[in-house]
Every structure is written in C-alpha cells, then in structure tokens.
C-alpha cells in the first residue's frame, strides 16, 4: 500500500490507534502507539519521535532522540488489540544526521538487498525459514543470589503420563512427536488458529504440524519471500504465535533448548537467488544445482563460525548445537541428507524449486541480521569462487573417526562464535551493509549481557555434580 492507501485502509477498518513497531538490536519487537488523529500522511516521510536510550544495543542517553518512520507496505490491523489498531513496521532514522540509523537491523537488511542488486549477481534473494517453537502450559524461572531454577510444564509432556487425577494418557514420547494424530497431538486447533491469523495478516502458509519433541513442539511453515519481507513476516509470525497461545491460556517460547533430553527448536532457512524472474541456483552440477549455487554454499561453509554469532546468537543455542545429538553441526553439504548443515532439497525437479537449506540457525536470531549475514557470506562465496568441497551423502552422525577427518563442526559456544566473528567479518562490511560500529556493538553486547552474565552465575546442575565433593 501507499501512504494514502494506508490511511484509507485505517479508515475503512475504523482504526482508533496506530501501533509503531520496530526491532531492537538483539531481535525483539518494540512498540509505541498514537491515536489515529496523530497519524498524518507526512509521517511516512518525517517519522514519529521517540527516546531510543533504553533500546538494547542503541544510543546512549545523551544521544538518544530517534525517529520511527512507518513502512506503508507493512500495514495491517493488529489482531490482538481490544481497540481497532493499525500496525506498521518502522525504519529508524537519526534526526540529527537525517539518515537511516546504522544500528537499525531492518536498515541493515535493506542494505544487504541493495548490495545484491549492485553486485550484478542477482536482484532478489528469497528466504524461507522454518521456525520451530514450544507451546507450554506453564513456566516459572528465577535467578537471585541464593537460588536459580526453571520449571516448564505441558499437559502433553511425556513426564505427565503418570499424573494423578483426570489423565487420558495420550502423550508423545521423547523424540516421537513427528507426526501423531490427535489425541496424541493435542494442539492441532491452536496451531490452526495461528495459521488463520497469519493468513489474515498476509502471510502465506504452506503447512503446520507437531514437531519431534514431546510437550507441544510445533512448526508452521511460511511460503518463501524476498529477504526483507520474510524478516518482517518472521517477526509477525512470532508475535501471532505467542498471542494466540495466550488466548488459550498457554505460552510459546522460541528458545532453542528449553527441555533437556529431547529435540530443540531450530530454524532451517531455505535460500536462493533470482535475477529478472529466473532462478540462478538451478543447473547441471551436483543435485541439479548451478555452479553459482555451489559457490554460495562455499561461502556459507567458509564463514559458518562467524555466521553463528548471528544465526545462533544465544548461550542456549549451543545446548541444541551439540555433536552427537539432533542438530546439524557438521559443516558439509548434501542432497536430502538432514545430518549435513546444508541440504539441497530434492522434492521437485523444477528449476524454480532449486534452493539450499541452511540447517544450523535457530529462531532466537534477529532475522534481519541473520538473513543479511548469510546472504553476504553466500555472495562472498560467489564473488571469490569459493569451492565447497565434495558433498557428503552419508549419515554424518554415524561417521567413524577416519571418515570424520576434515569435516569441521559448528562452534560449541556463543563465546567461540563471537570470537570467530571478531576474526572474520570483512565480508559483512562490503557495501557498508554491516558497519564496523554495528559489529562491535553486537560483540560487546553479547559478551557483556549474555556470555559474562552466564559465566558468573552458578548453574543448578553444578550442585548435582559438585556439592558433596
């Protein structure tokens, strides 16, 4: 929609408020709202002022005035507000410089798309993330000087099969949640409601299903779209999933590993490059891909350790990325093989369906940063003709020591990933897509707020291991 059409849309839907949504640096939506009377057409150019000093990873208090500039193409009616409310996603502008704010993740994604076009390689990068999540019935957690704990529960959790009282016993066992019918799958109606709300908001949904883990693990698959649009849609996807769950007295988490000894939640991310309406990843090479596609894979594999700082950006991410468990930690590519970190799907022989699936990301990532970083790594592979090596078509989880020689694995901790990013980020600076300041802010924020914060706190399991020594 154009700005004028947005105002007509708001009037037709009797909107009384306007919600300005924008993303902070780590990757959570923030918002403020104004009455519709304070939403003139000029606001799409001038923006609405707000204090950015408390936004994670942004300006200091002495340099905090910001402008939120609505993108008219993102306008929808918010499905969860009591009062009719128009929702718009915003770009952030520095009012003093009169330029886009360089730490605005959405602006970084816009620059990545612009870099792709300027490179001449292609004009559109399509992304299709498969974000997994858990739907729990109850969660408690706390950390203070003398205690630390978490407690999650689900009526569907296999640990409740012996629960006293009314208990119908249909619980998916650990690692057996893929794809039982009801009553074992107890959340089909909730996922369906999520799908319907997503469709009303303009997201094209391909399928929904229960995921592998017990206790309500779910996946809803969106149709691929251009990179920036898909990042916008992923934020909306998470917003809808959480709020529909709340309607039902439940809670959603996108944490990669909220449950011990069962599968975690990943976000396999499909990617392809097109130009002039033609797919560029189809060809006559391995698995029906082009040489360009293989070079793109080479770039992802070369920079995978640095990419992990954006694609797997939490300390909890590495509870899922553990060798020998379910996550694809082996840095290899293959067709159909889900034990490789990059898979070439073989569902269709159509050139339009040719893509790669990067399997190590998880849904705690900031999609604007993670998608942009993967695109820049892939483009670096194309520009420098980076050879991805030979494919590996065996089950990588069952390789013996001799076969595994030479196959690198993903970082084992967030600290290791951040160190890798610090040593390898020149490819992200091309075209001023990521700035030096943005990279350094990411490194310092993650180290101080997460790595160091976890390092200095006793873990409950340490008491199990060490209390009686």
Cite the active site residues. 51, 130, 132, 211, 219, 268, 338, 357, 359
Instruction: Tokens for 405, please give them.
Output: 């020689």
Residue 381's SS3 state is: helix
Answer yes or no: are the C-beta atoms of 27 and 311 closer than 8 Å: no
Phi-psi category of residue 415: left, alpha or beta, with phi > 0 → left and psi -120 to 50 → alpha: alpha
Distance CA 352, CA 414 (A): 36
Give me the phi and psi of 435, to 5 degrees please. Answer: -95, 160
Instruction: Tokens for 95, please give them.
Output: 């009012």
CB atoms within 10 A of CB 323: 13
**Tokens 């070369």 belong to which residue?**
302
Instruction: Tokens for 139, please give them.
Output: 């969660």
Distance CA 36, CA 20 (A): 11
What does 250-293 look like in DSSP terms, one character per residue? -EEE--S--STTS----EEEEEEEEETTEESSBSSSGGGB-HHH
Task: Return the percent helix, strand and coil in the chain, to nearest 5.
Answer: 35, 25, 40
What lies within 8 Å, CB to CB, of 294 at 6+ separation is: 285, 286, 387, 388
Answer yes or no: are the C-beta atoms of 190 and 196 closer than 8 Å: no
């Amino acid at each position: 929609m154009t700005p004028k059409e947005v105002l007509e849309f708001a009037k037709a839907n009797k909107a009384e408020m306007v919600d300005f949504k924008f993303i902070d640096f780590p990757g959570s939506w923030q918002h403020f709202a104004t009455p519709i009377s304070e939403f003139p057409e000029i606001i799409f150019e001038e923006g609405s002022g707000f204090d950015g000093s408390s936004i994670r990873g942004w300006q200091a208090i002495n340099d905090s005035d910001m402008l939120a500039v609505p993108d008219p193409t993102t306008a929808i009616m918010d499905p969860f507000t009591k009062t009719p409310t128009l929702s718009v996603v915003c770009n952030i502008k520095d009012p003093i410089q009169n330029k886009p704010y360089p730490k605005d993740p959405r602006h970084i994604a816009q620059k990545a798309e612009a870099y792709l076009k300027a490179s001449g390689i292609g004009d559109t990068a399509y992304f299709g993330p498969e974000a997994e999540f858990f739907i729990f019935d109850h969660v408690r957690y706390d950390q203070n000087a003398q205690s630390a704990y978490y407690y999650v529960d689900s009526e569907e959790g296999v640990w409740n099969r012996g629960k006293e009282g009314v208990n119908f016993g249909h619980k998916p066992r650990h690692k057996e949640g893929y794809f039982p019918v009801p009553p074992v799958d107890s959340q089909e109606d909730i996922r369906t409601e999520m799908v319907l709300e997503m469709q009303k908001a303009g997201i094209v949904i391909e399928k929904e299903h229960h995921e592998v883990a017990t206790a309500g693990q779910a996946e809803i698959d969106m149709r691929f779209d251009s990179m920036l649009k898909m990042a916008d849609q992923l934020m909306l996807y998470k917003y809808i999933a959480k709020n529909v769950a709340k309607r039902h007295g439940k809670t959603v988490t996108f944490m990669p590993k909220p449950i011990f000894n069962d599968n975690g939640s990943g976000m396999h991310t499909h990617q392809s490059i097109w130009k002039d309406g033609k797919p560029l990843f189809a060809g006559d090479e391995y698995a029906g891909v082009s040489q360009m596609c293989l070079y793109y894979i080479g770039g992802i594999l070369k920079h995978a350790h640095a990419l992990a700082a954006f694609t797997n950006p939490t300390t909890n991410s590495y509870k899922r990325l553990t060798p020998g468990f379910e996550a694809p930690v082996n840095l290899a590519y293959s067709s159909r093989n889900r034990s490789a970190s990059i898979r070439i799907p073989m569902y269709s022989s159509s050139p339009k369906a040719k893509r790669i699936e990067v399997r190590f990301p998880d849904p705690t990532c900031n999609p604007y940063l993670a998608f942009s970083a993967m695109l820049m790594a892939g483009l670096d592979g194309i520009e420098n003709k980076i050879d991805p090596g030979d494919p590996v078509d065996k089950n990588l989880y069952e390789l013996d020591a001799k076969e595994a020689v030479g196959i690198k694995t993903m970082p084992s901790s967030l600290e290791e990933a951040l160190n890798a990013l610090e040593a390898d980020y020149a490819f992200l600076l091309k075209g001023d897509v990521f700035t030096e300041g943005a990279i350094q802010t990411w490194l310092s924020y993650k180290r101080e707020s997460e790595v160091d914060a976890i390092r200095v706190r006793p873990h409950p399991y340490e008491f199990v291991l060490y209390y009686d020594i």
